[in-house]
């Protein structure tokens, strides 16, 4: 059944520029498969006459906006958010691997999957590219929970067959067979997608990386996700383990793990050759600023990414990241962009930050026109935002003289209180 919502409406055009209708109308209807999609969007005055058959739900003072897309997050790290450590490698050893060990138990995986998806939706995140653990049961649990909620979600079994403790370390042949089995069972089912997931080069043997690359070639529309160039100790370690590769990023290229739909978290300690390689292979960076600030990893070079023009978007990286909230991530990205002592500093426009967490993130995932926007044809994952959710935000948004000022007020002062409703595109 066709439905319409009348409120302010935020979308993005093909160039990534914001389109804002103060009195907007969003019209959604099921497609041939029954999935709800946007069929019309724009100013109420222009759109309403085209749909005389529907009575819109009126949402005065609210903003309709695309659901946020989180390009990199770990569902098994939900409970270790905010675990302090002296940088990435001690954090993995002392908190992350012990926590992930528990996901061998299906019941634990299922329980945390529900908590994780509740948190995403509460914070307005409608799609995430998500790490599970090395245990296939963790992948089954998350896919099953997302499927019940009809969410678009991408995840995969972590591949880590060395330099990892008992309990999370897997075995090369078995890990690749398990991956292919999970691809067959889940990839493309309803709104679910599979990501081939080597944790990072230091915890995989050459044989495992080679096998992952072969799977990525054989299943060309799957995603690939990993980590790269996050922390200087990690970079040094990767360079020692793979001396034949030109750089840490080059390891992934050497094993066939850079292509469209490949997404690497962090991408901080890069040179321009790395950036050119990202561009040439249409590989995307998942920029995770709260995590990078929390773990003291470094500052992503937004100027370098824009100059070389390679795909990138925003991510929480929970549990290294400190918040599920896209508002917190966008604000941290602004801080990181401003930092001008270790790399060029710049001021990311509020609409640019927002794009990097919606339509830009969708583009980086190869999902333009499917999610991350409210243009006709997009799946109807959207948010109802309340720009007066707190007293100070209400003052700031009432006094905003432009769209950029309004978006910046939400980014600086907003959190889950702004998310009044998260709507998932349903089927039937
Ligand atoms: N590098 C390898 N594993 C991880 C992880 O779980 N989190 C982060 N932030 N970096 C990693
Ligand atoms: Fe991560």
* CATH number for the domain whose boundaries are 3-67+372-423: 2.30.40.10
Closest CA to 200 of 118, 88, 47, 355: 88
For residue 231, the ligand closest to its alpha carbon is 1
Q: What is residue 257's predicted lDDT score, i.e. its pLDDT?
A: 99
Closest CA to 267 of 222, 235, 224: 235
For residue 158, the ligand closest to its alpha carbon is 1
Q: Ligand 1 pocket, 229 CB below 6 A?
A: no
CB 172 within 8 A of CB 191: no
Q: Ligand 1 pocket, 227 CB below 6 A?
A: yes
For the chain, where do the domains classified as CATH 2.30.40.10 start and end? 3-67+372-423
Closest CA to 334 of 295, 299, 385, 305: 299
Q: Ligand 1 pocket, 291 CB below 6 A?
A: yes
Q: Ligand 1 pocket, 317 CB below 6 A?
A: yes
User: Which structure tokens are listed for 150?
Assistant: 């009809």
Q: What is residue 221's predicted lDDT score, i.e. its pLDDT?
A: 98
Tell me the CA–centroid distance for residue 295 and ligand 1, in Å: 10
Q: Could you identify the atom of ligand 1 that is nearest to the CA of residue 230?
A: 10
Rounded to a whole number of angstroms, the distance between the first and last alpha carbons of the chain is: 9
The residue whose two tokens read 């979600």 is: 153
CB 2 within 8 A of CB 29: yes
Query: What predicted TM-score, i.e. pTM, was given to this entire model?
Result: 0.98
For the chain, where do the domains classified as CATH 3.20.20.140 start and end? 68-365
For residue 200, the ligand closest to its alpha carbon is 1
Burial of residue 135 (number of CB atoms within 10 Å: 0-12, 13-18, 19+): buried
Tell me the CA–centroid distance for residue 25 and ligand 1, in Å: 42
Tell me the CA–centroid distance for residue 298 and ligand 1, in Å: 14
For the domain 68-365, what is the CATH superfamily, name and number?
A: Metal-dependent hydrolases (3.20.20.140)
Q: Is the omega angle on the peptide bond into residue 352 within 30 degrees of 0, that is, cis?
A: no
Q: What is residue 29's predicted lDDT score, i.e. its pLDDT?
A: 98
Looking at ligand 1, which residue's alpha carbon is closest to its atom 9? 320
Q: What is residue 386's predicted lDDT score, i.e. its pLDDT?
A: 98
Q: What is residue 363's predicted lDDT score, i.e. its pLDDT?
A: 98
Mean pLDDT, the chain cut into blocks of 10 residues (428 residues total): 97 98 98 97 98 97 99 98 96 98 98 98 98 98 98 98 98 98 98 99 98 98 99 98 98 98 98 98 99 98 98 99 98 98 98 99 98 98 98 98 98 98 92
Q: What is residue 428's predicted lDDT score, i.e. its pLDDT?
A: 67
Q: What is residue 398's predicted lDDT score, i.e. its pLDDT?
A: 97
User: Which structure tokens are listed for 408?
Assistant: 């910046």
Tell me the CA–centroid distance for residue 227 and ligand 1, in Å: 7
Q: What is residue 330's predicted lDDT score, i.e. its pLDDT?
A: 99
Q: Ligand 1 pocket, 100 CB below 6 A?
A: no
Closest CA to 71 of 11, 125, 5: 125
Q: What is residue 80's predicted lDDT score, i.e. its pLDDT?
A: 98
């Amino acid at each position: 059944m066709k439905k319409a919502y009348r409120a302010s409406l935020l979308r993005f055009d093909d160039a990534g520029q914001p389109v804002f209708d103060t009195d907007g109308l969003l019209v959604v209807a099921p497609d041939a498969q029954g999935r709800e999609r946007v069929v019309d969007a724009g100013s109420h005055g222009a759109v309403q006459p085209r749909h005389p058959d529907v009575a819109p739900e009126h949402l005065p003072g609210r903003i309709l906006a695309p659901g946020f897309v989180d390009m990199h997050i770990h569902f098994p790290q939900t409970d270790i958010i905010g675990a302090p450590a002296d940088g990435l490698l001690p954090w993995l050893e002392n908190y992350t691997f012990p926590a992930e060990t528990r996901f061998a138990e299906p019941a634990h995986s299922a329980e945390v999957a529900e908590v994780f998806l509740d948190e995403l939706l509460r914070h307005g995140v409608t799609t995430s590219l998500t790490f599970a653990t090395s245990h296939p049961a963790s992948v089954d649990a998350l896919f099953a929970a997302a499927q019940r909620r009809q969410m678009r979600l991408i995840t995969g079994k972590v591949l880590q067959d060395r330099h990892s403790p008992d309990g999370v370390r897997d075995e090369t042949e078995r890990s690749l067979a398990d991956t292919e089995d999970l691809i067959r069972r889940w990839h493309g089912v309803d709104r679910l997608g599979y990501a081939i997931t080597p944790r990072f080069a230091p915890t995989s043997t050459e044989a495992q990386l080679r096998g992952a690359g072969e799977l990525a070639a054989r299943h060309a529309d799957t995603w690939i996700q990993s980590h790269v160039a996050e922390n200087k100790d990690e970079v040094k370690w990767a360079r020692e383990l793979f001396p034949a590769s030109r750089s840490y990023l080059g390891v992934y290229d050497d094993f066939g793990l850079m292509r469209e739909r490949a997404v690497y978290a962090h991408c901080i300690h890069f040179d321009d050759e790395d950036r050119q390689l990202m561009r040439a292979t249409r590989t995307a960076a998942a920029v995770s600023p709260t995590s990078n600030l929390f773990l003291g990893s470094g500052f992503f070079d937004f100027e370098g990414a824009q100059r070389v023009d390679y795909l990138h978007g925003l991510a929480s990286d929970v549990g290294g990241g400190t918040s599920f909230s896209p508002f917190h991530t966008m604000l941290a990205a602004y801080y990181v962009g401003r930092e001008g002592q270790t790399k060029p500093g710049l001021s990311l426009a509020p609409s640019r930050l927002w794009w990097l967490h919606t339509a830009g993130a969708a583009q980086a995932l190869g999902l333009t026109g499917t999610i991350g926007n409210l243009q006709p044809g997009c799946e109807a994952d959207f948010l109802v935002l309340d720009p007066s959710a707190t007293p100070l935000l209400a003052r700031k948004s009432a006094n905003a003289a432009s769209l950029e000022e309004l978006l910046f007020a939400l980014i600086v002062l907003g959190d889950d209180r702004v998310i009044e409703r998260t709507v998932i595109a349903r089927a039937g």
